[in-house]
Amino acid sequence: MEKTLDDSPLNQILDSIYDVESYVAGKTHEDFLNTSLIRMATLKQLEIIAQLASELPEDIKNEYREIPWAEIQKFGDNLHHEYYGINHERIWRIAKQEITPLRKQIERVIDKKL
């Protein structure tokens, strides 16, 4: 995926999603668990996504209620406050199963906004 040049929060979220997808592409669960660089980079991008989601205007969140904005924000808060208690299994599941559907949702929002 190619990074965007637009620095709007939605495009920044999309860029972070692209990063997460690239970090885990072709990686096994064991690769993820055994490679600190992959785990920490993935974690950082998920934190960024959550922070940017919290900064989005309420009208966007209200218009696109199918995106779990509150859940994303809460997840980010948990990451921020429970750094040493991070559930790496959950991070893996998000990176491998949940991030691509989120990307597709964000891409649809951006396409509608153009």
pLDDT in tens, 1-36: 555 556 799 999 999 999 999 999 999 999 999 999
Span 74-109, pLDDT tens digits: 998 888 777 677 889 999 999 999 999 999 999 999
Distance, first Cα to last Cα, the chain: 19
Q: Answer yes or no: are the C-beta atoms of 43 and 23 closer than 8 Å.
A: no
For residue 18, what are the CA distances in angstroms to 6, 23, 85, 99, 100?
A: 14, 9, 26, 9, 9
Q: Count other C-beta atoms under 10 Å from residue 46's C-beta.
A: 23
For residue 4, the model assigns a pLDDT of 54
| pLDDT computed for residue 78 by the predictor | 84
Contact between residue 13 and residue 49 where contact means Cβ atoms under 8 Å apart: yes
